[in-house]
Amino acid sequence: MAFWVPAVFAAAIAIIHFVAGGREIARPLLRQGALSPSVTLTHYYCWHMATISLAGLTGCYAYAAVSQDGRILATFATLIAFSFCIWGLMLVLWKGQRHRDMPQWVLFLGLTASGIWAHSV
């Protein structure tokens, strides 16, 4: 039952990605003309891969919330969330960005923490 917490958290991240990312990332990407169509569409494809991944994390946690044999999926989802968190943090530091401009890692830190918590109860 505890896995509903990270499931809802993952769903919230997916919604934020879909709504805000669609408005601030995907639409401007498709409107710009500086990149070639293959580069633009590859970036757009990757944006959709992120959307699918976030929905998958939500599904892993939701399944773990309703089925004992779903714990392994929740473990996988927590490891993926942790990987997204670390990569996001390292990218900000590596490229000298500001955390307020690239805050995604904080969301995945929360998701990782909620996944670890759900495993412990």
Output the DSSP codes for 63-74: HHHH-GGGHHHH
Which residues form the domain of 58? Answer: 4-120
Domain count along the chain? 1
Q: Quote the CA–CA distance of 101 and 63 in Å, as a whole number.
A: 33
Q: Does residue 11 contact residue 59 with C-beta atoms inside 8 Å?
A: no
- Res 99: pLDDT: 87
- Res 38: pLDDT: 97
pTM: 0.91
- Res 44: pLDDT: 96
- Res 100: pLDDT: 87
pLDDT string in tens for the chain (121-residue length): 899 999 999 999 999 999 999 999 999 999 999 999 999 999 999 999 999 999 999 999 999 999 999 999 999 999 999 999 999 999 999 999 998 888 899 999 999 999 999 999 9
- Res 117: pLDDT: 98
Q: Which of 3, 48, 16, 51 has its CA nearest to residue 30?
A: 48
